[in-house]
Homo-oligomer: A and B are copies of this chain.
Amino acid sequence: MTILPATFDAKLFRENSETVLAKLEKHLADQSLRGLELSDPARLIAAARALMTEEREKIADFDEEKLAAIVDLYLATGIQVHSPSYMGRQFSGVVPLAGVIDFVSSVVNQPSSFYEAGQLPNAVERIMADELNSFIGWPAGSFAMVTTSGGSLANLTALLAARNRAFPDYWSHGGAALAGGARPAIAVGADVHYSVSRAAGVMGIGEEQIVRLPLDRDYRIDPAQARSALDRAARTGLRVFCLVASAGTTSVGAFDPIGELADLAHERDCWLHVDGAHGASLLVSDELRGALRGIAEADSLTWDAHKMMFVPAPCTLLFYRNREHSLAAFRQQASYVFDEEPDIYAALDSGGKNFECTKRPMIMTLWALWAIYGRALFAEKIEYLCGLTRDAYEILEATPDFETVHRPEANILCFRHRPAGLSEEAVHRFQVAVRSRVKHQGKFFISKVDVDGVAALRVVMMNHETTTAHFRLLLTEIRKAGRELLHAGAASR
């Protein structure tokens, strides 16, 4: 062997870490207003290639400058999530301590689907399940929580459990065996995340068996209209086995009325899954918890800690009201009755409950923050962000050249810029053009979404350093972009 052992040297590791650490410290300390520097992919690929060793035969000597250049390029080309002008998406600038804990996870590499392989991660999953359930309210020992790699996967896992509960033979016999009877179907709000309808395609239910429930004026599922829609679905031969509500839709952050939908689901012998990927974190705030009223009646809940719990992605929690259902996703519903009694170690294994065989010990970041700083860290930050969003809404309401499209329930706010002289037909394309221009100017990062078929600008408040002053600056930037577009005649193109 040549220099292979040297690449594992602990001192070199220390030096590499110090190099990177200095850069990360500077990056975190930079509170300047900056958005995204969008690079041409071909040029970025060339820049990255230029940093690669040309040595093909033996292990190249460690090159400190290469490492520094790689990290510089990585930091410079990313969305600047720790900048106060980052208001663009649902991922956040993490609490730095969470990054530090995740560093430990990266080095010690303990996969956590099995207790033996990651003891502490599996132990603290139990602790966090109990801590967070204190805001849901299920009896101790009756419920279950499992971590998984992202909200899309959690939604799919819950839907599998619902499918297998309603159709116990589906796991072994497959969908073809059901032919002739009612077709399995899933009911969702018209604004549900794409991962849910995708799950229907994945699971063999078929995307056409998605029943879309109408929304009310606040973009929430309307229970009365939902009842009629379910009746219609039944008449066309669909058996809706699961109803999916959103606690914080992606587009406007609307919260479906969980309690009323739970009644409806119960009445129809239907599983209620709540996709709270974005909004479940409001549960930790006494002030905001009401948005999820009725959550204890849901059968399952997706909760992304990498959104409003401010830890590195992915860190998704999937809760089941009924502990036994957590075993239903990956087997025939009946079979777990015959399980042998697991030993005290295997009882904490999650491999039978989540997709991953090798799973990152993602809970460690959330638990460490919770252990050291306590619940208030999350509650305070979330309350600030939701308050800021309400303030931004009020500012827009008082500003004639902007229109709001909804009253914000959390930290997501959609609106449109409508300067004088903008024709009605041009509104859609104008918002798209404004967003694109603001993005390319690189000072603010915001997003865009269609609401009622017309484009709107969208901010997601994720940084507690962002203030109403920053929001007013953003409006100035938007106005400037709008003026330039109007002058250039772009709005009428």
Contact = CB atoms under 8 A, between A and B. Distances in A.
A81 interface: yes
Given A102-B106, A175-B206, A193-B357, 16 more contacts: A13-B96, A17-B17, A44-B119, A45-B127, A48-B120, A48-B367, A52-B371, A55-B376, A75-B108, A102-B103, A156-B355, A171-B207, A176-B178, A194-B357, A204-B205, A312-B360
Interface stretch (A57-65, A224-232, A266-274, A399-407): A57-65
B360 A59 contact: no
A330 to B, nearest CB: 6
A202 interface: yes
Report the 6 A-B pairs with minimum CB-CB distance, sorted nearest first. Answer: A204-B204, A175-B175, A174-B206, A179-B179, A102-B106, A13-B96
A14 interface: yes
Interface string A307-347: 00000111000000000000000110000000000001101
Contacts of A205: 174, 204
Interface string A246-286: 00000000000000000000000000000000000000000
Interface stretch (A1-9, A214-222, A413-421, A451-459): A1-9
A123 B360 contact: no
Interface string A341-374: 0001101100000011111100011011011111
A237 B246 CA distance: 42
Nearest to A93: B109
Given A13-B96, A464-B1, A120 B74 contact: yes
Given A49-B127, A179-B180, A202-B330, A107 B96 contact: yes
A364 B92 CA distance: 19
B53 A374 contact: yes
Contacts of A375: 56
Contact of A123 (B41, B103, B184, B348): B41
Nearest to A107: B99
Contact of A17 (B21, B123, B380, B384): B21
A71 interface: yes
Contacts of A25: 10-11, 13-14
A437 interface: no
B306 A358 contact: yes
A115 interface: yes
Contacts of A170: 204, 206
A110 interface: yes
Interface string A28-45: 110000001011111011
A27 to B, nearest CB: 7
21 contacts: A7-B96, A14-B21, A44-B119, A52-B370, A52-B374, A58-B374, A59-B374, A67-B97, A71-B101, A71-B104, A74-B108, A74-B120, A81-B110, A89-B117, A91-B109, A103-B103, A149-B150, A153-B355, A175-B176, A175-B206, A306-B358
Chain A, interface residues (CB within 8 Å), range: 35 or more
Please indicate which of the listed interface residues A9, A104, A206 has the most CB atoms of chain B within 10 Å of its own CB. A104
A432 interface: no
A380 B57 CA distance: 10
Nearest to A43: B123
B109 A41 contact: no
A117 B174 CA distance: 38
A118 interface: yes
Nearest to A439: B116
Please indicate which of the listed interface residues A49, A102, A173, A204 has the most CB atoms of chain B within 10 Å of its own CB. A204
A184 B179 contact: no
A98 interface: yes
A126 interface: yes
Contacts of A441: none
Please indicate which of the listed interface residues A9, A173, A180, A331 has the most CB atoms of chain B within 10 Å of its own CB. A173
A480 interface: no
Contacts of A99: 13, 103, 106-107, 109
B45 A8 contact: no
A124 B105 CA distance: 23
A398 interface: no
Contacts of A304: 358
A359 B316 CA distance: 12
Given A127-B45, A151-B358, A28 B13 contact: yes
